[in-house]
Amino acid sequence: MTHHPPLLSDISLYFNPAADEPSWSTQFLEDPMRRAQWRSNLSALEVLEMCTPQEEDFVPDFATRIAARLSITPHQATAMAMDAYQLSLCPNLAKVVRTGYYPITMVRKILSLIATVTEPHLTDVESDICAMLRPSHPNQQLPTTKGMTYRIKKIIEKHQPIARPLDEGEERKTNGSVRHAGPEISFDQSNDARTRVLIDLPKLDGIELEKLVRAAAAKYECTQAEAFLRIVREHTDVRITLNLYKNTADPTEDLFAEGSWLPKAVGEEWMPRITHLAAPGFAEAQGYAPTEAIKAALAGRDGGCRAPHCSVPPHRCDVDHVRRYDHEDPAAGGPTNTDNLHLLCRYHHKQKTAGQWDVELRPDGSEAWTSVGDGHQVVTVPHGPLGRETFQFRHLRRAKAVKLHNLLTIMPPEGEPTLDLHLAVATVQTEELDLDFEETLPF
């Protein structure tokens, strides 16, 4: 096994970052629970690094020895050894995770995502991931697994597209094109009294069906299962809205829909179905109920529940007034506009309404969540696609978008793009991906 430098364990190195400097909430180790988690992270990472094989080690032999010592299965031991080996190839990433700020599940997810990246691209991917693991706000909550996975896939796609991990349900063809699994349904009639139906749908089709079922259940005051049968039997009359978000100035960007970034092939299938176009921004309503424009703006900004480390998608969230709406005297309470509204799942909505959390929605879109019970605070950032641009970034983006459009439309006399044109387009697309400004709308 490979010997590694000792993990940094001097707790004085990690105590209390300055109040105004960007930091993860896991860095504040005066909290005994966080301190215990920090030591647990370090211990788990130490065990992982002890599982690092030599390049010449045989997989079954090495995995069997690890499995026996840790009382785990050979399959689990093999996975640990592979993750440890991957970490040994990324010395800068190893330095970052040895701080102990990151749970071992998060570390191993990163390592599994980059397992197919090869040199010379691995160095660049590692550098971008280390940058991604730097906080942008003081006391910021760690990213969710879902959000982190998407960003890492985009990093890999930027440097070595062929190494990007497949999305769930995606099948890569040998000619380089991508196909996504279509709808599937099966019926289990093994029980004399019941039939079990299993439906497996592409992401957005599934969300469309869920919205229809929920809307029908609400309209006809029935269960969701009964609503589904009404839809099948064509006994319903309900309409729903799917909000899709696309940067029309940049064809290289993915489509965002209901809390998920859609693969390009899926996004292209849904674009022709768009019936209305809008530019979401500040919106307000008179009274308590938000308008559809407000809901669309919030879904595009927040991307899902804004509570710490919650990943419930927008279509399953409630619209909540950050500062409470006063039904007796609306002028005295919080307004119904995008400056005072956010998305919360039902669980966190109930907690906030019950007074378990105080929430401050800041002008940059970040939120400070303060526990009423013990006073600890964390900061969450929106993860939707809508962003506030600086003038410098707008100038750069518009110039590059025009350049990309011209490169894509100017063809040689024969009507086929030349190799030089392909390379030029690839260069511009790469430059576009390098512009990683992520300022959020001041809703």
| 411 located within any domain | no
pLDDT of residue 205: 87
24 and 104: one domain?
A: yes
Nearest to 284 by CA among 93, 164, 443: 443
Domain boundary among 341, 365, 380: 380
Reduce the DSSP state of residue 274 to 3 states and report it. coil
Placement of tokens 């619209």 in the chain: 319
**Does 439 fall in a domain?**
no
Assess whether 131 and 188 both reside in one domain.
Answer: no
The predicted-structure confidence for 324-333, as pLDDT tens digits, reads as follows 998 888 888 8
Which of 133, 166, 199 lies at the terminal end of a domain, its last residue? 166
State the residue range of the domain holding 191.
Answer: 184-232
- DSSP annotation string for 105-129: HHHHHHHHHTTT--TTHHHHHHHHH
Residue 385 included in any domain:
no
Q: Is residue 215 part of a domain?
A: yes
Domain for residue 271, yes or no?
no
Indicate whether 29 and 150 sit together in one domain: yes
Residues 148 and 227 in one domain: no
Other Cβ atoms less than 10 A from the Cβ of 131: the count is: 11
Average pLDDT over residues 67-88: 94
Q: Give the Cα separation of 25 and 309 in Å (integer).
A: 11
Residue 373 has pLDDT above 70, yes or no: yes
Tell me whether residue 397 is in a domain: no
Residues 154 and 111 in one domain: yes
Which of 309, 321, 232, 244 lies closest to 284 in space, CA to CA? 321
Same domain? For 137 and 188 the reply is no
pLDDT in tens, 250-290: 666 788 887 778 777 677 777 777 777 777 778 888 888 99
Q: How far is CA 22 from CA 26, 172, 203, 389, 443, in A?
A: 12, 39, 35, 21, 22
Same domain as 50, residue 107:
yes
Tokens of residue 269, six digits:
């299938």
Domain boundary residue, one of 121, 139, 166: 166
Domain count, the chain: 3
Do both 60 and 137 map to the same domain? yes
98-126 residue pLDDT tens: 999 999 999 999 999 999 999 999 999 99
Residue 90, in any domain of the structure: yes
Per-residue pLDDT tens digits for 321-366? 999 998 888 888 899 999 999 999 999 999 999 999 999 999 888 9
Residues 196 and 144 in one domain: no
Residues 398 and 410: their CA atoms lie apart, in Å, by 18
396 domain residue, yes or no = no
Overall average pLDDT of the 300-325 stretch: 92
Question: Are residue 143 and residue 213 in the same domain, yes or no?
Answer: no
Residue 10: predicted pLDDT = 47
Cα atoms in the 13 Å half-sphere on the side-chain side of 262 = 22
Per-residue pLDDT reduced to its tens digit, 35-48: 999 999 999 999 99
3-state secondary structure 379-428: EECCCCCCECCCHHHHHHHHHHHHHHHHHHHCCCCCCCCCHHHHHHHHHH
Q: Do residue 215 and residue 352 come from a single domain?
A: no
| pTM exceeds 0.75 for this model | no
In terms of domains, do 80 and 208 share one?
no
Q: Are 321 and 329 in contact (CB under 8 A)?
A: no
pLDDT at 181 over 80: no
